[in-house]
């Protein structure tokens, strides 16, 4: 988080029990509301593996109580998708029920179960075969400039009038900090860069942060060729392959074509909800346990 600390007013919290750290909640503050950090894709309580439901619920209660006493009216939390957790960890869904939280937004991620999941559909395999016939080559690199400057930035600007969340300097710095977790895979047709993907790698899961290609993707089958190799070879030993969301227009719309493309690789939907807690509701937990 440190690389973009200047963009946010940090309000991160730690929860202790008898001087023992139980949980961490990365937050930033905006006026009289706090957000599970807007500089992070996902949010919520970071817990020890040993944390039990009652402890977690009391963590939420004391966080809400503290925020209420500080004059903060609303806590926004982005759910961490279950596939990212090392153990089952959906306490926030029950906490949202107990504290009468609202769900103002739901994002849909397309995820492949790599062991015993669905087969890649025929229409994607046609692109894979086309790419192989044309001699496409996937290359892993620690240099992000070519993909950013030649493919990703121009495409996002042309199609959406937008820019990547990370500048090339930021993604380079993140890769420097976490070289084993952030990878760049580029597709070359001869020496020409035609497509690429930026991958965030975790012990049992990979997440696709960026996907983009030049205008020859249909004729070359470049993205089909790339993801076939990533799914069936490079990351075949992982449990999940997360394509990320297909939401656009401030997450209110679904890109149907992009969603279909991901699903043809065997991906299916997993949701991560955004919860809005009224801090004044912290006493509602008092009557739950019997």
pLDDT category at 196 given cuts 50, 70, 90 is very high
pLDDT digits (tens, 9 = 90+) for 8-67: 899 999 999 889 999 999 999 998 999 998 878 778 899 888 889 999 999 999 999 999
Burial class (CB in 10 A: 0-12, 13-18, 19+), 176: exposed
- Confidence check: pLDDT of 251 > 80: no
The yes-or-no answer to whether 2-106+273-287 and 115-238 have a common fold is: yes
pLDDT category at 5 given cuts 50, 70, 90 is confident
| pLDDT score, position 83 | 86
**For the chain, what's the residue count?**
290
CA angle 241, 218, 149 (to 5 degrees): 75
pTM of the model: 0.89
Q: Distance between CA atoms of 33 and 40, rounded to whole angstroms?
A: 17
Count the neighbouring beta carbons within 10 Å of the beta carbon of residue 116.
5
Q: Provide CATH code, domain 115-238.
A: 3.40.630.30
Q: Distance between CA atoms of 227 and 265, rounded to whole angstroms?
A: 8
pLDDT category at 272 given cuts 50, 70, 90 is confident
157-169: average pLDDT: 90
User: What residue ranges do the domains of the chain occupy?
Assistant: 2-106+273-287, 115-238
The CA–CA distances, whole Å, from 175 to 141, 144, 170, 194, 210 equal 11, 9, 9, 22, 14
- Confidence check: pLDDT of 246 > 80: yes
Share of residues in the chain with pLDDT > 90 (%): 76
Q: Distance between CA atoms of 242 and 112, rounded to whole angstroms?
A: 6
**Superfamily assignment of 2-106+273-287 in CATH?**
Gcn5-related N-acetyltransferase (GNAT) (3.40.630.30)
**DSSP secondary-structure letter at 80?**
P
**Closest C-alpha among 116, 93, 186 to residue 146:** 186
Average pLDDT, the chain: 93
């Amino acid at each position: 988080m440190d690389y973009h600390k200047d963009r946010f007013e940090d309000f991160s919290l730690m929860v202790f029990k008898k001087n023992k750290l139980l949980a961490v909640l990365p937050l930033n503050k905006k006026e009289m509301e706090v957000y599970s950090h807007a500089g992070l894709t996902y949010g919520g309580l970071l817990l020890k593996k040993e944390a039990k439901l009652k402890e977690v619920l009391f963590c939420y209660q004391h966080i809400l109580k503290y925020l209420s006493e500080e004059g903060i009216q609303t806590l926004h939390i982005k759910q961490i998708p279950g596939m990212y957790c090392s153990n089952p960890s959906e306490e926030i869904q029950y906490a949202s029920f107990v504290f009468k939280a609202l769900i103002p937004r739901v994002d849909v991620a397309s995820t492949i179960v790599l062991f015993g999941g669905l087969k890649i559909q025929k229409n994607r395999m046609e692109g894979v075969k086309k790419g192989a016939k044309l001699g496409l080559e996937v290359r892993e690199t620690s240099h992000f400039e070519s993909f950013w400057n030649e493919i990703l930035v121009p495409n996002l600007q042309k199609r959406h009038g937008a820019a990547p969340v990370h500048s090339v300097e930021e993604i380079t710095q993140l890769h420097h900090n976490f070289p084993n977790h952030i990878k760049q895979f580029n597709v070359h047709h001869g020496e020409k860069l035609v497509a690429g993907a930026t991958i965030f790698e975790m012990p049992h899961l990979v997440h696709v942060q960026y996907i983009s290609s030049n205008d020859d993707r249909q004729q070359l089958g470049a993205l089909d060729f790339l993801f076939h190799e990533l799914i069936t070879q490079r990351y075949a030993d992982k449990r999940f392959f997360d394509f990320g969301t297909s939401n656009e227009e401030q997450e209110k719309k679904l890109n149907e074509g992009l969603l279909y493309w991901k699903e043809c690789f065997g991906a299916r939907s997993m949701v991560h909800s955004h919860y809005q807690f009224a801090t004044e509701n912290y006493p509602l937990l008092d009557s739950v346990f019997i």
